[in-house]
Amino acid sequence: MKSNRKFQLQSNLLASRRRGAAMMLILGMLFVFAIAAAITVDFSYMQLVRTELRVATDSAAKAGAEALARTEDVDLARSEAVRYASMNSVAGQPLAIAESDVILGRLVESGGGRWQFSPGGFPPNAVRVDANTGGDALHPAIPLHFGRILGRSTFTPRSEATAGQQQVEVCLCLDRSGSMLFDMTGVDYEYAPNNPYLSNFTAWGDMWRNHLSAPHPTQSRWAVLRGAVQIFYDEAALYTPAPKTSLVTWASDYTMPISPGTVFQSATLNVGLPQSDSTTFAQQRSLVTNAINSLNTKPMMGGTHLSAGVDLAVGHLTGGQSSSFSNKIVILLTDGQWNAGRTPQQVGTDARNAGVVIHAVTMLTNLQNDVRQMAEMTGGRYYSTTNETELRDAFRELARSLPIVIVE
């Protein structure tokens, strides 16, 4: 009997110990779960705050870049960035940054189609916002919900955003020499048949009759170029803001050898940059298109005075009608080898010194190393095209290479 009681007491004691151990295990697991829950809640909160901070800095940088491009006022750009930052909440409070947290600089191409921010670059075309919290920053450190449990009551996220409102001003610099009357075979003095603009002058033979005519409306080199220009405008229209455009056409000084002895200037500014911000991209496109179409109804004369055209384009992009802070780009098209005026290298040197990029497209010619070097020394691209498809592709790619807004 005593033995049974003793056994029962020992069993009860063992069971009690097991229950106590289980309770301790449960309590331990609950504690670990509470810690895990606290970590999860605060980790999620930290991620939310980081997202809010990123959105706020992006907004501030974009606002500063827009103000810089619109007004060219560096002080206003900084104040707009600060103002837009305060319009975004971070952890329940408007984001507070100082004007010293807003850095102006320039976006420069670093190769491979990538752009890099250069602090202090002039003229500025980009704004970087460096938003800090806690410490010496205007915005306080962010309190955590379970800071006491975690042994850390706050955290101090940081976010940096860069926006470049690339206002781009483009001058289409198009060869209108006599060879633009030729067809697309690549053979000199081969003209498309059945030209509705064919001259009535027959005294000097068929070659001169064609040469004194306006270009064939669909099969001449000029007509094919017209189509490529429209591809450029179609692509450029997809960007906001779209580039501002102008038109220079060029050949060489020439006087028509028959009556009425029309004088052709080596270079002409056919359409200038828009004089007002109220001029829309579509309106400017119409002006350029109409000017190109108008030339399609007139004879084209002269040689390849390349420097006359590019010099006029560069002068226009750096003159009084242009914006001081814009990216300035000449898109040059020629179907011939330069044979008058300064060398392409001299032209490229002057353009580079003026801060103008030249993209060059040659049409139905052999590779022109001097034109390629001219383009590359300004930071531009060179395209050698041999047919209509390649020409259109070149103009399409050039339109897509005009970066407007970049955020990093």
| Tens digits of residue pLDDT in 356-392 | 999 999 998 887 888 988 998 888 889 999 999 999 9
Token pair for 382: 């060179």
- pLDDT tens track for 298-330: 988 888 889 999 999 999 999 988 887 788 999
Tens-digit pLDDT profile for residues 50-66: 888 988 998 899 889 88
pLDDT at 239 over 80: no
**What is the β-pairing status of strands 159-165 and 126-131?**
antiparallel
CA distance 165 to 127: 9
Where residue 367 falls (left for φ over 0; alpha for ψ -120 to 50; beta otherwise) is beta
Query: With 50 as the cut, is the pLDDT of residue 404 above it?
Result: no
Q: One-letter amino acid identity for 88?
A: N
- The residues, any chain, with a CB within 8 Å of residue 335's CB and separated by 6 or more, are 175, 177, 179, 180, 182, 221, 362, 363, 364, 365
Residue bearing the bigger pLDDT, 128 or 47: 128
pLDDT for 294 equals: 93
User: Amino acid letter at 146?
Assistant: F
Half-sphere exposure of 363 (CA within 13 A, CB side): 31
Residues 190/183, Cβ–Cβ less than 8 Å: yes
Please give the backbone phi and psi of residue 361, each rounded to the nearest 5 degrees, phi first: -125, 120
- CB-neighbour burial class of residue 243 (10 A; exposed 0-12, middle 13-18, buried 19+): buried
List pLDDT tens digits, range 251-298. 887 888 877 777 888 889 999 999 877 889 999 999 999 999 999 999
Q: What per-residue confidence (pLDDT) applies to 148?
A: 63
Confidence label for 33 from pLDDT (cuts 50, 70 and 90): low
Query: Taking a C-beta distance cutoff of 8 angstroms, is the pair 187, 332 a contact?
Result: no
- CA gap 253, 259 in Å, rounded: 17
Region 200-208: mean pLDDT is 90
Tell me, what's the pLDDT at 367?
A: 76
What kind of fold does domain 168-407 have according to CATH? Rossmann fold (3.40.50)
pLDDT digits (tens, 9 = 90+) for 69-119: 778 899 999 999 999 999 988 988 999 999 999 999 988 766 655 678 899
Between 8 and 265, the higher pLDDT residue? 265
Highest-pLDDT range among 80-84, 255-259, 338-342, 396-400: 80-84
End-to-end alpha carbon distance in the chain: 86
Bridge partners of 327?
168
pLDDT score recorded for residue 31: 59
| Pairing between β-strand 263-264 and β-strand 254-255 as defined by DSSP bridges | antiparallel
The secondary element (H helix, E strand) that includes residue 353 is helix 344-353
Report the pLDDT value the prediction gives residue 282, as an integer from 0 to 100.
93
Question: Residue 14 above 60 pLDDT?
Answer: no
Instruction: Quote the tokens at residue 109.
Output: 């191409």
pLDDT at 62: 84
In this predicted structure, what is the pLDDT of residue 234? 94
Short-list 179, 174, 175, 176, CA closest to 207 = 179
Provide the Cα torsion 177, 183, 188, 193; round to 10°: -110
pLDDT at position 63 = 87
For position 7, what pLDDT does the model report?
53
Contact 144, 154 (CB under 8 A): yes
Backbone angles phi, psi at 91, to 5 degrees: 55, 40
For 199-210, b/e burial (b = at least 16 CB within 10 A) is eeeeeeeeeebb
Write out pLDDT tens, residues 175-188. Answer: 999 899 999 999 98
* 41 dihedral zone (left: phi>0; alpha: psi -120 to 50; beta): alpha
The string of DSSP letters for 71-124 reads H--HHHHHHHHHHHHHTSEETTEE----GGGEEEEEEEEEETTEEEEEET-SS-
Identify the residue with better confidence: 182 or 43.
182
Domain ranges of the chain: 2-162, 168-407
- Comparing C-alpha atoms, which of 392, 399, 400, 369 is closest to residue 382? 369
Residue range 16-28, pLDDT digits in tens: 555 665 666 666 6
